[in-house]
Amino acid sequence: MTDFYIATYILMVTFTILVPFYLAGRLWFAFSPFAINYYSKERANWYNDWNTQRFLIVLNLFLVSLSLSFFWGGKILEDIHAEKIDFTQILFYIILQILAVILFEVKMEHPFKPIQAFKKFKKNSYSERFEFREKQDAADKIEHHSNELKREFLKVGTKISNELNNQQIILSETNELAKHNNNILQESDFAFEIKKNPNMVIDDILRDYFISKDSERDLSDFLLRKKNSGKILFTKPARNGVSVQPILDFFSTFTNVMESCKSGTITQAETCKIINAVTSAKDRLGNIAEEPINSRNLSKYLSNSDVQDDI
């Protein structure tokens, strides 16, 4: 074979023979304390942070590396000896062996530092090197009480879980009710906007705008619930007919109807119709006008309002 084939052959021998031997040595180094302790005390106790699951992982990684060497590495060596080199096979083989070594070392004590582990092994005595978890005797003594406690904890946990579920159901129902009520509050019977005023006091509004006490419920529904439950009766009299000033002041303060009328969004006729749909007024003789607002008194109010704005 040429020098190239010899170098490739040596590389493959290294990964095929030395890697499994290296892993076997590291595996025995990890397992021997368990074996010696088991032989001397006839009790299966792992040491430090080792456990059965961790040992099975490194054992399987060693078996994977050994299987790769036996079934695949040997075949590649035969091909190289026959001067038939498949670089793809060699590359994947080496990558798998390196991956097995890396995963193996991650689970070991002193990963990737076998010499340091060996020095520590030689430096300390056997009893100092390994701390076995020999607390099973105490565990056996309290196992019965421990099982009873576990059952009690399970019962308490079940009760707490059931109570939490009940509270969750109540909370969900409360949230749904709150959402429903909120939707009701947000829904409006009117095509115009009713302004929000957190300091609104119904009794003060009744007094300031000369609204009948009998309309208190209708006023409350109008302002707070945006519902039309009945006409709001204004009681301030005038010398001739009814006084429209409180009505139009009310709509200017608590709605955007007058603003929409001034901006031309709605006509004066539409404004009159909107206001008359929810209001009525009492004249000096006690007669009730169901449609107190008309284009004439509305136009006069708007003109006076524009003059005040200019001033």
Residue pair 205/211 in contact by the 8 Å Cβ criterion: yes
pLDDT of residue 158: 81
Residue pair 233/215 in contact by the 8 Å Cβ criterion: yes
Encoded tokens for 133: 């978890």
Same domain for 92 and 208, yes or no, is no
Binned at pLDDT 50, 70 and 90, residue 126 comes out as: low
Q: Is residue 223 part of a domain?
A: yes
Same domain for 109 and 216, yes or no, is no
Chain centroid to CA 149 = 34
pLDDT of residue 164: 79
Write down which residue in 136, 157, 184 finishes a domain.
Answer: 136
Same domain for 216 and 301, yes or no, is yes
Which ranges constitute the DSSP H helices of the chain? 3-13, 19-41, 52-67, 74-81, 87-106, 114-123, 126-129, 136-186, 202-208, 216-220, 245-254, 257-263, 268-276, 295-310
* For residues 281-310, average pLDDT: 82
Q: Is residue 128 part of a domain?
A: yes
Location of structure tokens 């699951």 = 53
pLDDT of residue 248: 93
Tens digits of residue pLDDT in 154-201: 877 788 888 878 888 787 777 776 665 555 445 667 778 888 777 788
Same domain for 126 and 28, yes or no, is yes
pLDDT of residue 292: 92
Same domain for 44 and 119, yes or no, is yes
Give the integer Cα–Cα distance in Å for 294 and 78: 110
Residue pair 279/257 in contact by the 8 Å Cβ criterion: no
Q: Is residue 176 part of a domain?
A: no
Write down which residue in 136, 152, 185 finishes a domain.
Answer: 136
Q: Total structural domains in the chain?
A: 2
pLDDT of residue 93: 83
- Range of the structural domain that residue 69 is part of: 3-136
pLDDT at 135 over 50: no
The percentage of residues in the chain with a pLDDT greater than 70, rounded to a whole number, is: 77
Radius of gyration of the chain (CA): 46
Return phi, psi of residue 180, to 5°.
-60, -45
Write down which residue in 78, 109, 136 finishes a domain.
Answer: 136
pLDDT of residue 3: 72
Tens digits of residue pLDDT in 235-249: 988 888 888 999 999
Q: Is residue 144 part of a domain?
A: no
Q: Whole-number mean pLDDT of the chain? A: 78
Same domain for 132 and 211, yes or no, is no
Encoded tokens for 95: 């990558």
Binned at pLDDT 50, 70 and 90, residue 45 comes out as: low
Binned at pLDDT 50, 70 and 90, residue 17 comes out as: confident
